Amino acid sequence: MRILISGTPGVGKTEISKILSLKFNFLYFSVSKFILENKLYTSYDSKRETYNIDDSVIQKINDQINKMDNVIIETIYPSLVDNADKIIVLRKNPFVLYKDLKDRNWGDLKIAENVEAEILGVIAQEAREWFKNICEIDVTNKSREEVVKNIIDNRCDNVDWLSDDRIQDLLIELDKIISLYENK
């Protein structure tokens, strides 16, 4: 059994993945950690405070995953994983996510791009295109135990942040931040 846990940074992927791993006595595999430990990145983008990768890492990631039977796979990018039995995309209210990323002392551009990705459902859409059947779970104001129970019980949420006018206003503000950095 392979369970893929995905979502934008700050939604709780690592914590939920580790809890599930312990609960089911499954292995835990972090795609990001694997990439960093094996220096599989191509460069570091200091403006965005992130490592860049190319498609050459996909085979190495999947070769590693294929050595494992029962595993919780944590990744931002679901399309890096060839197959999984259950695909979970964790979502978080963009206002809460913005505050959480600010509390991590992330740079403005990194926060803006990640919150924008959450608003637009970029990770969920990627997962849907790659795997078809996914389960989105809104983790906002839920305990870790509630999130884990929702995963186990296949209780999925229909997440649409854009239906909230306040979030549309936030998206406009985020676009302004991103534009400032892109025009530098």
Cβ-proximal residues to 9 (8 Å cutoff; 6+ apart), any chain = 76, 101, 114
Is 142 marked as a binding-site residue? Answer: yes
Is 13 marked as a binding-site residue? Answer: yes
Q: Single out the residue of 57, 116, 117, 66 nearest to residue 89, CA to CA.
A: 117
Rounded CA separation 77/122 (Å): 10
Q: Print burial letters for 108-127: b (CB count within 10 Å at least 16), e (below 16).
A: ebbbbbbbbbbbebbbbebb
Is 10 marked as a binding-site residue? Answer: yes
Is 144 marked as a binding-site residue? Answer: no
Is 107 marked as a binding-site residue? Answer: no
Q: Catalogue the long-range contacts made by 153-158 (C-beta closer than 8 Å, 24 or more residues apart).
A: 157/91
Q: Single out the residue of 87, 175, 66 nearest to residue 131, CA to CA.
A: 87
Q: Single out the residue of 56, 55, 74, 46 nearest to residue 181, CA to CA.
A: 46
- Which residues are annotated as part of the binding site for ATP? 10, 12-14, 104, 142
Q: Which residues are annotated as a binding site?
A: 10, 12-14, 104, 142
